[in-house]
């Protein structure tokens, strides 16, 4: 074990985050997201919800300041009456770690799947909320 690293971050996930470069994208997939055929690299985080994982990741993972929307959510399918309160939780977590992050984009479901297919890594979780999938675009670390 190491000090000050949240235990929710597995060694595989930490290694992946370190290997990612500027502009690479990380998908945090809810429990309903089918990963087969969507990602070359998959890190399993079974049983974990996305909000605590997102909070832990953003302690170390810079968001890309050179794009308008470094955070991407899957739009609710038109006509689906699902509520998405988890999105408000995501916004709070992102603002906590990256107050000048730019914006959050909502992408149509099939466009989201296509983008996820091209992502560096998909992290599968046990998140039960619907439409809880999120993509993060990695930025650069700037020493202050």
By annotation, the residues acting in catalysis are: 22, 64, 113
The C-alpha atoms of residue 37 and residue 81 are separated, in whole angstroms, by 28
Question: Which pair of tokens denotes residue 49?
Answer: 């919800």
Q: In what helix (H) or strand (E) does residue 114 lie, and over which residues does it extend?
A: helix 109-117
CA 130 vs CA 31, 83, 110, 126: distances in Å: 9, 8, 15, 11
């Amino acid at each position: 074990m190491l000090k000050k690293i949240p235990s929710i971050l597995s060694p595989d996930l930490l290694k992946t985050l370190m290997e990612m470069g500027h502009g690479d994208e990380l998908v945090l997939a809810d429990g309903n997201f089918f990963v087969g055929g969507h990602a070359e690299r998959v890190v399993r985080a079974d049983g974990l919800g996305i909000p605590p994982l997102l909070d832990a990741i953003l302690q170390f993972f810079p968001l890309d300041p050179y794009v308008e929307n470094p955070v991407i959510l899957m739009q609710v399918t038109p006509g689906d009456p699902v509520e998405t309160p988890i999105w408000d939780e995501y916004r709070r977590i992102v603002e906590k770690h990256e107050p000048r992050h730019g914006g959050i984009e909502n992408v149509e479901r099939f466009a989201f799947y296509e983008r996820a297919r091209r992502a560096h890594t998909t992290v599968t979780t046990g998140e039960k909320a619907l439409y809880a999938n999120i993509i993060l675009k990695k930025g650069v670390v700037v020493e202050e």
